Amino acid sequence: MKNLFQAHSKVLIGVVHLKPLPGAPRHSASMSEIIKAAVADAVAYERGGAHSLFIENFGDVPFTKSNVGPETIAAMTAAGCAVRAAVKLPIGFNVLRNDGRAALALCAACGGDFVRINIHSGAMLTDQGLIEGDAYHTLRYRKSIAPDAQIFADVHVKHAVPLGDWTLEDSANDTLERGLADALIISGVGTGKVADLDDVKRVRAACPHAKILLGSGVNVANVKNFLEFADGAIVGSSLKRDGKLSNPVDAKRVAALVKLVEKT
């Protein structure tokens, strides 16, 4: 297990957005093409100096609010093992929309170190409908299948609104203290959207000893402000060629952001 927060004072986690996988409505590329693109992005992150990687089934829209199918897990395993063989960076998995058990199984199969769970505690109204956190079963499954994998959990995750009048601070505390998350993630309202700096400050004040990651919208223009209150960032969109989400990862953009992260 490679603990990112022990190895680096501030961490940059690059996101490998997988092309649509078998079974997804937009699936068209062969598995060899999907794996080739994933490995190329992973290598670009490593060349640019990123500290670790998340692999996620970003192309599989629309997402399910429950468990993904076996075809998705099989495809992500193939891609994850290929990335694991290609780079030395720690890797993690985010199985969208909220399949934490599949993500942990991928860690066990591919040598992963952490997972992202969008809704770990509480309940959120999302574009997939109502999704409830399941920290109880997730933590027990982790203990049996991937005990060293860390859980990075979103608080008031993007593309969703909380069900009920839960404050950001209360949700953060519950996710950390009752959900036993290893790190908290704060993001904007959607993919690539900048988080509210005041939200980050509020979570830092409410959970002073927590590890906090930015989950969207971080770029070279704002990273310094955010990392005054957070321990790192999960970045994908701004590190693509020309800053376009659909393009491959640009190692030069990665290097420029890493330089600022490490200086901070």
Tens digits of residue pLDDT in 176-203: 999 999 999 999 888 878 999 999 999 9
CA pair distance 158, 153, nearest whole angstrom: 12
At 208 the three-state DSSP class reads coil
Q: Find the DSSP H helices in the chain.
A: 4-7, 31-48, 70-86, 100-110, 135-145, 168-173, 197-206, 223-226, 251-263
Note whether 46 and 88 are within 8 A (CB). Answer: yes
Interior angle at CA 219, CA 217 and CA 220, nearest 5: 160
pLDDT at 1: 43
pLDDT at 221: 94
User: Per-domain residue ranges for the chain?
Assistant: 4-263
pLDDT at 2: 54
Under-50 pLDDT residues of the chain? 1
133 contacts: CB under 8 Å, gap ≥ 6: 117, 119, 120, 121, 122, 123, 179
For 4-263, give the CATH class: alpha beta
Confirm whether pTM is higher than 0.75: yes
